[in-house]
């Protein structure tokens, strides 16, 4: 008997202080789903290389900011040195990233994407951009600029950082 599944309701709640405004559940959920599907694109591609999200984040920023130092990368990703080391080692061993000593400060190990690394970074960026393009096609003109401004305002560094 295909009975209409009547959803049970939320339990009654104790009264709340009416001080706090209603949370913006629409934005909270939309950001969650957008990010989930956005990184899903990259995940699928990275499987072929036995790389994970962590590898992608490192490769992405090294490719976009050639000559990045390890310290700068750590600050960008907000992870620890030890977390980075495994991932970075694998990318270097696989010849996707290379290190060169700093010119001014030879303690530094500046990071550069190799040709292979650059190609992989670009491939992933293309897939993700295709997702954006599909989205923007459904939205009115100016949506790209508005979306970028909106996202930038949400992050701690209101600017691009």
Partner DNA sequence: TAAATATGTCAGTTCTATTGACATATTTCA
Partner DNA sequence: TGAAATATGTCAATAGAACTGACATATTTA
Quick one: which of 11, 85, 18 has its CA closest to 55? 85
Q: Is 110 in the site for a second copy (CB under 8 A)?
A: yes
Task: Name the one range near DNA by CB under 7 A: 11-19, 71-79, 115-123, 124-132.
Answer: 71-79
Q: Which does 113 bind (CB under 5 to 8 A by kind): DNA, a second copy, none?
A: a second copy
Q: Judged by CB under 8 A, does residue 138 bind a second copy?
A: yes
Asked if residue 132 binds a second copy (CB under 8 A), the reply is yes
Binding part of the chain for DNA, among 81-89, 122-130, 136-144, 148-156 by CB under 7 A, reads 81-89
Residue 52 beta carbon to a second copy: minimum distance, rounded to whole angstroms: 15
CA atoms 158, 82, 65, 33: torsion sign:
negative
Residues 6 or more apart in contact with residue 59 via CB below 8 angstroms = 51, 91, 96, 97, 113, 117, 120, 121
Among 22, 82, 140, 159, binds DNA (CB under 7 A): 82
Which DSSP letter does residue 50 get?
A: T
Minimum Å distance from CB 95 to a second copy? 13
DSSP 61-101: HHHHSTTB-HHHHHHHHT--HHHHHHHHHHHHHTTSEEEEE
Dmax over CA atoms of the chain, in Å, equals: 77
Q: Does 70 bind DNA (CB under 7 A)?
A: yes
Rule CB under 7 A: which residues touch DNA? 1-3, 50-55, 57, 69-72, 78-83, 85-89, 99, 102, 105-110
């Amino acid at each position: 008997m295909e009975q209409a599944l009547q959803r049970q309701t939320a339990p009654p709640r104790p009264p709340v202080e009416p001080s706090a405004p209603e949370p913006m559940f629409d934005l909270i959920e939309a950001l969650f789903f957008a990010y989930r599907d956005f990184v899903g694109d990259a995940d699928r591609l990275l499987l072929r290389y036995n790389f994970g999200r962590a590898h992608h984040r490192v490769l992405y920023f090294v490719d976009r900011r050639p000559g990045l130092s390890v310290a700068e990368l750590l600050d960008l990703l907000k992870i620890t040195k030890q977390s980075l080391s495994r991932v970075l080692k694998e990318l270097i061993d696989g010849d996707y990233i290379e290190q060169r000593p700093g010119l001014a400060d030879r303690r530094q190990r500046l990071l550069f994407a190799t040709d292979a690394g650059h190609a992989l970074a670009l491939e992933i960026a293309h897939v993700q951009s295709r997702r954006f393009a599909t989205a923007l096609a459904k939205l009115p003109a100016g949506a790209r600029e508005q979306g970028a401004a909106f996202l930038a305002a949400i992050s701690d560094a209101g600017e691009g950082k």
